[in-house]
Amino acid sequence: MVHEGKLELTSKVSDELARILFYDEQISKQMKKYKQEAAQWLVQRQTSKIQRNAYELNYAPDSILMDKKK
């Protein structure tokens, strides 16, 4: 209710705000958890990419390798 430009919090409104704030905290915690999981996944993916690049061939597969006789 508005009374002289001020909002009066009724019991019902107060309860509703408390419920919303309760879920807001849960949602924020879950979002932080997902953010951490995504960050870990990105680090793992980058590490895998570095390792994969270390084992990849650095020459053309159709090139010819010739040894010299000594």
Q: Which residues contact 9 (CB under 8 A, 6 or more apart)?
A: 17
Query: Helices in the chain by DSSP H: which ranges?
Result: 11-55
Q: What is the pTM of this model?
A: 0.53
| Per-chain mean pLDDT for the chain | 82
Distance CA 60, CA 38 (A): 35
Q: What is the pLDDT of residue 64?
A: 67
Q: What is the pLDDT of residue 56?
A: 74
Q: Largest Cα–Cα distance in the chain? A: 103
Tokens 């508005």 correspond to what residue?
2
- Whether the per-residue pLDDT at 15 is higher than 60: the answer is yes
Per-residue model confidence as pLDDT tens digits over 49-65: 888 887 776 666 666 66
- Whether the per-residue pLDDT at 7 is higher than 70: the answer is no
Contact between 43 and 35 under an 8 Å Cβ cutoff? The reply is no
